[in-house]
Amino acid sequence: MKTTLDLPDHLVRQVKQRALQQGRTLKELVAEYIRQGLHGGTTPSAPAASDGVMVDSAGLPVFRCERASERPGIDLATALQLEQQGLELEDLRRAGLPA
């Protein structure tokens, strides 16, 4: 079922970022959050620490590396630009247009 929700921009950005980090769609993640809320707020299972991924107190993934990366990190503006490009590609695919 389709519905329209008027949510705060910062909240939508956080959910979009988390969906991107988890490799999931916004629809999947929002549906999971609603189910969790309806069932008393159970939290999703966190990845095993042995996978090199941990979840911080905000529920965001933290990747642990054995050695320092040789590649420099990316800044926030670049990360947001990459996210926007991914969302645009997803929109094109859903509309049946060439990406």
19-54: pLDDT as tens digits: 888 888 999 989 988 888 888 755 555 445 445 677
pLDDT recorded at residue 43? 54
Q: Please determine, for residue 98, whether its predicted confidence score (pLDDT) is greater than 90.
A: no
Residue 87 lies in a domain: yes
Range of the domain at 53: 9-65+74-94
Domain count, the chain: 1
**Cβ neighbours around 32 below 10 Å, total:** 14
Percentage of the chain exceeding pLDDT 90: 13
Q: Is residue 1 part of a domain?
A: no
Q: What is the 3-state secondary structure (H, E, C) of the chain?
A: CCCCCCCCHHHHHHHHHHHHHHCCCHHHHHHHHHHHHHCCCCCCCCCCHHHCEEECCCCCEEECCCCCCCCCCCCHHHHHHHHHHHHHHHHHHHCCCCC
Say if 81 falls within a structural domain: yes
Within a domain: residue 88?
yes
Q: Is residue 2 part of a domain?
A: no
Position 41 in a domain: yes
Longest Cα separation, the chain: 47
Answer yes or no: pTM beyond 0.85.
no
